[in-house]
Amino acid sequence: MADGLLKDGIVPGRLSPDQYAVNFADLHPPLDRHEAFVEADRCYFCYDAPCQTACPTSIDIPMFIREILTDNPLGAAETIFEQNILGGMCARVCPTEQLCEEACVREAAEGKPVKIGMLQRYATDIAMEVEAQFFTRAAATGKRVAVVGAGPAGLSAAHRLALHGHEVVIYDARPKPGGLNEYGIASYKAPGDFAQAEVDYVTAIGGITIETGKALGADFTLSDLSGSFDAVFLGMGLGGVNALRAEGEDADGVDDAINFIGELRQASDLATLPIGRRIVVIGGGMTAVDAAVQSKLLGAEEVTMVYRRGKEQMNASVFEQDLAAAKGVTIRHWLAPRRVLTDGGRVSGLELAYMALDGSGALKPTGETTTIACDQVFKAIGQTLATDGEGVELAGGKIAVDAEGRTSMAKVWAGGDCATGGDDLTVTAVAEGRDAAESIHRFLSGQ
């Protein structure tokens, strides 16, 4: 047992160096050539392909699986990238069990879908490894488009715009591009600096400049952009975090799960990252699961996720919930935070109210409470738009867009997490960025 394992408080170095490496290794090791053939051979190549219908980017799944089966992984990669230029990251992070693999006829027939995500990763990894580029830019149009945010939505939009011959400048507030692929996705889903390798792969098409450390609202305004570019795409995600509204939430040891995950993703040595011995994570989504699982992997002894509603209402998929349980995280339902307990200004526990639905279906405290002792609390209760929209119309706290991604402001489009419609998933952001780029292209070419 490493020395730090049972230390109270928030301390670094709970594990031995070997243990960190084991814990943060690839969640699903890639398929080798033989495994890929065997898996591809399970596909029925359905003519109506329900898997393709379920994919938000509509990748021709039976086609790319057939290409793998005929030992043509580069052809398969081209089929994938035609629809989804971030197909490599999506192969790693998509909740396939809720999308293509849930729809796979083999799932219905035998409860064992074709491993579409793993096959997609097999093909795209080979293409990226040999730096195969499948797309050539159209002749320069002389039009310039500004993209705000270098996350999945912005990168996907930029690639499609560059393909059509437009010149793109991406502005991102952070020091590195990639958005949540770089700062949010759990380390064990995309190890080895994959997010930056993908940014390089996407921008290799040419015609795309990325300017990091430049924030809309601080360094320039939306009207600056629409004044100096022919069109603007907003893909700035959700940078704000909801407040807990529990007494004592400012105490030392209460942190945002997103910040914790971002620091973890950027840490060059995981042994330097401090983590509590007993952790409570508040929330029921993917961010809560990622924070809880990664706390456990960093050596926290007890990790409890608390969610104010039941298992069925959790945003985290069943796969994610099972992963958390398998890693030793306890998930408790129908509990809402009421008060952060402190000892000398530091967190010592969390008081929670039991919740239930009343006769009208409204969520109400039952009047009973419980306490969980802990030295660190992570808030993972949803994100919000960090800006006031800079003059574009909002709906439900997001930028209002139509079916093509057009905002209320002329020449300005939006997509990904910051815009209305769609689930907050990487693949949805890619689809929305791509489709908004097509709409911008039609506008710029007078169609």
Ligand X SMILES: Cc1cc2nc3c(=O)[nH]c(=O)nc-3n(C[C@H](O)[C@H](O)[C@H](O)COP(=O)(O)OP(=O)(O)OC[C@H]3O[C@@H](n4cnc5c(N)ncnc54)[C@H](O)[C@@H]3O)c2cc1C
Judged by CB, which is closer to ligand X: 103, or 355? 103
Task: Note whether 51 binds ligand SF4 by CB under 6 A.
Answer: yes
With left for phi above 0 and alpha for psi between -120 and 50, is residue 437 left, alpha or beta? alpha
Q: Whole-number minimum distance, CB 415 to ligand X, in Å? A: 7
Which of residues 40 and 148 has its CB atom nearest to ligand X in the complex?
A: 148
Which of the stretches 18-26, 41-49, 76-84, 126-134 binds ligand SF4 when contact is defined by CB under 6 A? 41-49
DSSP string, 44-80: ---TT-HHHHHSTT---HHHHHHHHHTT-HHHHHHHH
Of 170, 128, 130, whose CA–CA distance to 152 is shortest? 170
Provide the residue type at 90 as one letter: C
Q: How far is the CB of 17 from ligand X (least distance, A)?
A: 25
Length of the chain: 447
Sorted by sequence, the CB contacts under 8 Å of residue 206 that are 6+ apart come out as 137, 162
Closest separation in Å from C-beta 66 to ligand SF4: 9
Q: At what angle do helices 152-163 and 194-203 cross, to 10 degrees?
A: 20
Q: Which does 171 bind (CB under 5 to 8 A by kind): ligand SF4, ligand X, none?
A: ligand X
Task: Give the gyration radius of the chain's Cα atoms.
Answer: 23
Q: How far is the CB of 351 from ligand X (least distance, A)?
A: 26
Of the residues 46, 215, 251, 271, which one makes contact with ligand SF4 according to CB under 6 A: 46
> Rounded to the nearest whole angstrom, what is the least distance from the CB of residue 83 to ligand SF4 in the complex?
15
CB 210 within 8 Å of CB 379: no
Pairwise CA distance, residues 126 & 87, whole Å = 12
The single residue among 104, 314, 412, 430 that binds ligand SF4, judged by CB under 6 A, is 104
Residue 45 sits in the site that holds ligand SF4 (CB under 6 A): yes
Selection from ligand X, ligand SF4, none that 293 binds (CB < 5 to 8 A by kind) is none
List the single partner that 250 binds among ligand SF4, ligand X, none, CB under 5 to 8 Å by kind.
none
- Answer with the entry of ligand X, ligand SF4, none that 55 interacts with (C-beta below 5 to 8 A by kind): none
Residue from the set 15, 31, 61, 314 that interacts with ligand SF4 by CB under 6 A = 61
Closer to ligand X at the Cβ: 54 or 355? 54
Site residues for ligand X per CB under 6 A: 93-94, 148-154, 171-174, 179-180, 184-185, 189, 215-217, 235-237, 239, 258, 261, 286-287, 290, 386-387, 416-418, 424-427, 429
Nearer to ligand X, 85 or 355 (CB): 85
Q: Which is nearer to ligand X, 221 or 370 (CB)?
A: 221
Q: Return the residue matching tokens 């689809």.
A: 431
CA distance 142 to 126: 34
Contacted by 258, from ligand X, ligand SF4, none: CB < 5 to 8 Å by type: ligand X
At closest approach, how far in Å is the CB of 217 from ligand X?
A: 5
Among 43, 190, 246, 254, binds ligand SF4 (CB under 6 A): 43
Q: Return d(Cα 22, Cα 19) in angstroms, integer.
A: 5
Q: Which is nearer to ligand X, 56 or 113 (CB)?
A: 56
Per the CB < 8 A criterion, the answer to whether 274 and 259 are in contact is no
Residue 178 within binding range of ligand SF4, rule CB under 6 A: no
Which helix (H) or strand (E) covers residue 347, if one does? strand 346-357
DSSP for 164-193, written as a single string: TT-EEEEEESSSSSSTHHHHTS-TTTS-TT
Question: Which one of residues 17, 25, 44, 357 is an interface residue with ligand SF4 (CB under 6 A)?
Answer: 44
- From CA 124, how far away is CA 378, in angstroms rounded? 35
Q: Residue 203: which of ligand X, ligand SF4, none does it interact with, CB under 5 to 8 A by kind?
A: none
Provide CB contacts within 8 A for 153, sequence distance 6+. Answer: 179, 233, 235, 237, 415, 416, 417, 418, 429, 430, 432, 433
Residues near ligand SF4, by CB under 6 A: 43-46, 49-51, 61-62, 104-106, 114, 116
